[in-house]
Amino acid sequence: MSIVSPVTVVVGLCGHGLTIARALHRSGVRVVALETNLTLPGIKTRCASIRKVEDINHAGLITSLLALADEIGSQSLPVLILTNDRMVETVGRHLEQLHGRFALSWSACHQRLLPLLRKEHIEARCQVTGLRYPRTVRVDMLDRIVDQVGNLAYPLIIKPTRPLSLFKTLIVKSPGDFSSQADRIAGSLPVIVQEFIPGDDRAIRFGALYLDQGRILARFEGRKLRSRPMGHTTLAVSEPHDEVHRLAARFFEGLALSGPVSLELKQAPDGSFWVIEPTVGRTDYWVGLCIANGINLPLIEYQSQAGFPLIETRQQKNYLWMNGERDPFALFWLALHQPALLFTKRVASLYLDVKDMHPFLCAFSDLASSLLSRILRKITNKLMLNKSSSMPP
Taking the chain (393 residues) in runs of 10, the rounded mean pLDDT of each run is 78 98 97 97 97 96 97 89 97 96 97 95 96 93 85 91 81 87 87 93 97 98 93 95 98 98 97 97 98 98 96 96 92 94 95 95 88 77 65 58
pLDDT at residue 2, as a whole number = 44
C-alpha closest to that of 324 among 356, 345, 350: 350
pLDDT at residue 286, as a whole number = 97
Domain boundaries, the chain: 8-116, 135-195, 201-349
pTM across the whole model: 0.92
CA distance 214 to 297: 16
CA distance 70 to 77: 11
| Class at the top of the CATH hierarchy for domain 8-116 | alpha beta
pLDDT at residue 392, as a whole number = 59
CB-based contact 106:259 (threshold 8 Å): yes
CA 182 distance to own-chain centroid? 26
Domain 135-195 has CATH 3.40.228.10: no
Return the bridge partners of 223, or none: 205, 237
CA distance 310 to 316: 18
pLDDT at residue 199, as a whole number = 94
CA distance 224 to 226: 6
* DSSP of 229-267: STTSEEEEEE---HHHHHHHHHHHTTS---EEEEEEEEE
CB-based contact 234:227 (threshold 8 Å): yes
CB-based contact 253:180 (threshold 8 Å): no
CA distance 31 to 47: 7
pLDDT at residue 385, as a whole number = 65
Report the CATH fold assignment for 201-349. Answer: D-amino Acid Aminotransferase; Chain A, domain 1 (3.30.470)
CA distance 23 to 28: 9
